[in-house]
Structure 1
Amino acid sequence: MTNLKVHTPAPVDPEGGLASLRGDCARMVPHWAAPEPIAPLPVPLSLIHGVTVPPKSARLLEAMSDYGD
């Protein structure tokens, strides 16, 4: 026969509110690992060329209003 008992490390309170959620998050912190930060490499100027925009896209962008209108 299979043992159907479920063991939880902390009591589950679905209506616990913010304090309960913060406690759940604090218990999970040891299980999360932040990835190592990746420093972006600069792009050589020789690789930067002009931007080509298809005519349909250029007309669409021209018809759009600028921010702050």
Structure 2
Amino acid sequence: MWIWIIVFILFIVLSIVLEEAGYYIFKQYLYGSKYGKQLKWKIRMLTLLTLIKKKFQINTHQTKNEKIHKEIM
């Protein structure tokens, strides 16, 4: 009796592993290895744009401070 329960559980585990492996292989076939590289480039570009945006905000803030300082003097 216990052997049938163990066999049934192993069958379920094996089917889950095969399903996930099939999904992974299909995804690699469909998108290829470029998908990961494209994702990395998207993250890099977003990081770069964020840094540029922050730099622009810092420069704008400094410019406003300089104008205020000149107006005071």
Higher Cα Rg, which structure: 2
RCO (CA 8 Å, sep 6+): is it higher in 1 or 2? Answer: 1
TM-score, normalization by structure 2: 0.21
TM-score, scaled relative to structure 1: 0.21
